[in-house]
Amino acid sequence: MATYFVRPRLLFLLLALSAVRVLGAGLGINYGQLADNIPTPSRVSVMLQSLNVSRLKLYDTNPNILLAFSNSNVEFIVGIGNEYLQDMADPAKAKNWVQQNLQPYLAQTKITCISVGNEVFMGNDTQLWSNLLPAMKMLYTTLVDLGLDKQVIVTTAHPYTVIGSSYPPSSGTFRQDIIEYMHAILAFHSQTKSPFLINAYPFFAYKDDPTQIPLEYVLFQPNQGKTDPITNLHYDNMLYAQVDAVYSAIKAVGYTDVEVKISETGWPSKGDPNEVGSTVQNAELYHSNLLKRIQKKEGTPAKPSVPIDIYVFALFNENLKTGPTSERNYGLFYPDGTPVYNIGLQGNVSGVQDNVPGIVYSSAPNIKAPSTFISLVIFAIAYLIRA
């Protein structure tokens, strides 16, 4: 009869994961793939399921990823690239897309949302602007026809530049050149009960005006904050002010029944010389302080009863992304599983050295000692990726 031995390190990992699973629920992460050195989908699946991560956002419908998460409890937002928007307005092509990229996986993989295009209003391609809503509508109609509309919703992720005025938050408005598009898109959201997704990065605001915007205000550090002179609501961080400005912009065009969710936020650990603030220290502070807010299930000052819903960008550094250096340095982890930065953890857990680098997000309530939890998470992730 064979005798099996469990190595002490693996035994600790298994014990650690039992604690991790309690606290990992509610985690939302953008799973980017623009890299040639990140772990395989099957390995990432093992890692994230072990941590009880419950939500992932993709920018495509990579079949290897969707299959790797079969029979898991992970919910997916899947994406359709901007280059396909014109095709998606065609009934036959939309149906074909759903039947090829969605239906084969729905029985075993929890796909709950399609994000149509990405940051369409970032550029000046007015034809692309015009293609967005027809694509959203046709995909929704296709889902209705196939009996899938109760299972999968349709939305799109916007860049924060859709906001023309954001201060004070209560006076937030959309850019004038896209008002008609926003009105029609919001009518669709209101009708289909789907959320308005926004990519909100306080880093960009600070980078562009570091002499006028206090660093503490964007990093959730103690600061005087800002008070909205119209509502008298006090804001101690920029992210919440940004979200409330979006709610105000939505209300300004006549809608109060559309929920705002943050589809991306993060802070780069490295950047070019002109990317002020892109340091390991600032990334560490932004994420660790955001973690504390998420743990409290906080709402914004204007929506205190609606907990912030956030997808963090991103799981790994992606070495094939183009653009400034920061674009390749938003990951929480290097491809080998090593955490990118240290959030000042204390204590020694079964041989894991003090101040283990890393971060994780959880919306679980009543977390009294996140340091030990995060230590367990970081050890677990590094072990699973390297295994």
Indicate which residues carry an active-site annotation: 119, 264
Q: Token pair of 380, please?
A: 């677990």
b/e string for 319-345 if b means 16 or more Cβ within 10 A? eebeeeebbbbbbbbbbebebbbbbeb
Nearest to 31 by CA among 66, 72, 81, 70: 66
54 — phi, psi (to 5°)?
Answer: -110, -10
With 0-12 / 13-18 / 19 or more C-beta atoms within 10 angstroms meaning exposed / middle / buried, residue 100 is exposed
83: exposed, middle or buried (C-beta count within 10 Å: 0-12, 13-18, 19+)?
exposed
Q: Give dist(CA 329, CA 314) in Å, integer.
A: 9
**Cis, bond preceding 184 (omega within 30 deg of 0):** no
Q: State the pairing for strand pair 153-159/163-165.
A: unpaired
Is the Cβ–Cβ distance between 313 and 329 less than 8 Å?
no
Torsion-angle region of 157 (φ positive above 0: left; ψ -120 to 50: alpha; else: beta) = beta
DSSP state at residue 40: P
> Alpha-carbon distance 288 to 208, whole Å?
23
Looking up tokens 């010389």 gives 273
Tell how far CA 305 is from the center of its chain: 21
What spatial distance separates the first Cα and last Cα of the chain, rounded to whole Å? 27
Q: Which one-letter DSSP state was computed for residue 55?
A: E
Beta bridge partners of 95: none
Strand pairing category for 234-235 and 110-118:
unpaired
The 10 Å CB-count burial string (b at 16+, else e) for 252-277 is bbebeebebbbbbbbbbbbbeeebbb
